[in-house]
């Protein structure tokens, strides 16, 4: 399939391009041209902005469905629900749970992917846990916490047919260093989360291969002038990415702005969305925990934040408003940075010749007018 996109603006990696035609061929981006051949198929999005598809590397569920439901249908519904919101790629994300439930979740994700997803496409599985510690447990169930085990991970990876691309752990746990070295060498993104670690402990785990901090400022020791803690390690180490939930609940806007200024391209926007996303206020579950959502904020009975109900495009909007940075820069923190964190920036994350043609059409109100996956428009706004 060959066609050209005409639009007012295109959000590129290093600038905002105005006018012209973008070639789409065989599901990939081509070059920009000022004129098209006679009789060419032109998709006219005059008055609109074209942006790369968003990539949510940390999402548990949405619209009443959760990965831990252990059903392929749940993964399929999540895929379909986030496509109209501009997300073209995602990582179905598990929670700390029993061995049986984790295995079932992995199997259900694998089955859904193998059958084929109708909306956003999965780029693998993210295991959030179970190798955490209790002090900053958040909505993770401590009864299942344990030390990292390479043999256990190998069992999961075999079950997943190699689809696990990211796993989170607390670096202070026994065996965390050798586990990180071995798993990182296999190309899995080891991430730091739900931890009471010191700055030095974090530095050691990054030396061993860890390259990401999960939901920065949440589920970790804070910044202190005598002990920089996990937050200090995340902000000061240019080797590691840091995830940020920009819903205004998890992180104060001014702190989010500071994190953006410090981390720049190493900051990536996530949602950590759970099943209450896109749903009305009320009672829900996150894993085994009852959760109450009020005014869009989800909390456990103990008062801990329980994931979020944020949508990634709203996180982009918020960070743009909080930082007053150009949209093309902030947008890529939700598309290119996630792709780079997983070593997938050669094919995803930005509008560049040769990359997969995942793109979003934005109208002047910053609403998603259409979403395309590999050049095929799979969602279009009815109006």
The tens digit of pLDDT for each residue in 217-227 reads 999 999 999 99
Q: Is the pLDDT of residue 204 over 80?
A: yes
The tens digit of pLDDT for each residue in 70-117 reads 999 999 999 999 999 999 999 999 999 999 999 999 999 999 999 999
Q: What is the pLDDT of residue 286?
A: 87
Q: Which CATH superfamily is domain 54-341 in?
A: Metal-dependent hydrolases (3.20.20.140)
Give the pLDDT band of residue 361 (cuts 50, 70, 90): very high
Closest CA to 274 of 92, 55, 66: 66
**In sequence order, which ranges of 189-311 are alpha helices (DSSP H)?**
199-207, 229-236, 253-263
Q: Is the pLDDT of residue 302 over 90?
A: no
**Mean pLDDT value of segment 298-317:** 92
Q: Is the pLDDT of residue 383 over 80?
A: no
Give the pLDDT band of residue 46 (cuts 50, 70, 90): very high
**In sequence order, which ranges of the chain are alpha helices (DSSP H)?**
72-82, 99-115, 150-159, 176-185, 199-207, 229-236, 253-263, 312-323, 327-331, 336-341
| H or E segment and range at residue 212 | strand 212-213
Q: What is the pLDDT of residue 280?
A: 95
**Mean pLDDT value of segment 283-300:** 89
Closest CA to 320 of 331, 306, 336, 304: 331
Average pLDDT, the chain: 96
**Which residues is 16 bridged to in the sheet?**
11
**Mean pLDDT value of segment 273-286:** 94
Q: What is the pLDDT of residue 300?
A: 87
Helical pair 229-236 and 253-263, crossing angle rounded to 10 deg: 40
Give the pLDDT band of residue 139 (cuts 50, 70, 90): confident
Q: What is the pLDDT of residue 289?
A: 86
For the chain, the residue count is: 383
| CATH architecture, domain 2-51+350-380 | Roll (2.30)
Domain ranges of the chain: 2-51+350-380, 54-341
Task: Express as a percent the part of the chain with pLDDT over 90.
Answer: 94
Q: What is the pLDDT of residue 369?
A: 98
Task: Express as a percent the part of the chain with pLDDT over 70.
Answer: 100
CA distance 106 to 126: 10
**Mean pLDDT value of segment 34-63:** 96
Q: What is the pLDDT of residue 321?
A: 98
Cα-Cα-Cα-Cα torsion 335, 338, 341, 344, nearest 10 degrees, comes to: -60
**Mean pLDDT value of segment 238-251:** 97
User: Quick one: how far is CA 349 from the chain centroid?
Assistant: 12
Catalytic residues: 272
* Residue 70 structure tokens: 């252990």
Q: What is the pLDDT of residue 305?
A: 85
């Amino acid at each position: 399939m060959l066609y050209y996109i005409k639009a007012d603006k295109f959000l590129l990696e290093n600038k905002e391009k105005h006018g012209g035609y973008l070639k789409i061929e065989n599901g990939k981006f081509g070059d920009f041209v000022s004129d098209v051949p006679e009789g060419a198929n032109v998709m006219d999005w005059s008055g609109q902005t074209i942006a790369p598809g968003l990539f949510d590397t940390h999402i548990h569920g949405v619209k009443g469905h959760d990965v831990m439901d252990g059903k392929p249908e749940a993964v399929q519904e999540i895929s379909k629900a986030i496509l109209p919101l501009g997300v073209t790629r995602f990582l179905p994300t598990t929670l700390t749970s029993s061995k049986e439930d984790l295995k079932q979740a992995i199997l259900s994700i694998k089955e859904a992917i193998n059958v084929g997803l109708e909306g956003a496409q999965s780029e693998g599985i993210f295991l959030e846990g179970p190798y955490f510690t209790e002090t900053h447990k958040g909505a993770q169930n401590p009864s299942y916490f344990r030390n990292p085990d390479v043999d256990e991970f190998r069992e999961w990876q075999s079950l997943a047919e190699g689809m696990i691309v990211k796993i989170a752990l607390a670096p202070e746990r026994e065996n965390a260093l050798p586990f990180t070295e071995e798993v990182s060498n296999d190309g899995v993104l080891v991430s730091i989360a739900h931890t009471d670690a010191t700055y030095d402990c974090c530095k050691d785990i990054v030396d061993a291969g860890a390259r990401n901090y999960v939901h920065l400022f949440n589920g970790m020791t804070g910044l202190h002038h005598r002990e920089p803690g996990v937050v200090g390690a995340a902000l000061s180490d240019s080797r590691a990415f840091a995830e940020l939930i920009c819903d205004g609940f998890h992180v104060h806007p001014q702190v989010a702005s500071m994190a953006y200024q410090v981390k720049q391209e190493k900051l990536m926007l996530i949602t950590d969305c759970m099943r209450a996303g896109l749903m009305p206020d009320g009672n829900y579950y996150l894993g085994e925990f009852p959760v109450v959502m009020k005014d869009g904020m989800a909390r456990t009975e103990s008062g801990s934040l329980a994931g979020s109900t944020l949508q990634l495009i709203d996180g982009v909007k918020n960070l743009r408003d909080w930082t007053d940075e150009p949209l093309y820069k902030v947008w890529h923190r939700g598309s290119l940075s996630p792709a780079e964190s997983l070593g997938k920036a050669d094919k995803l994350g930005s509008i560049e010749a040769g990359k997969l043609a995942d793109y979003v059409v934005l109208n002047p109100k910053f609403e998603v007018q259409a979403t395309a996956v590999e050049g095929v428009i799979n969602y279009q706004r009815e109006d």
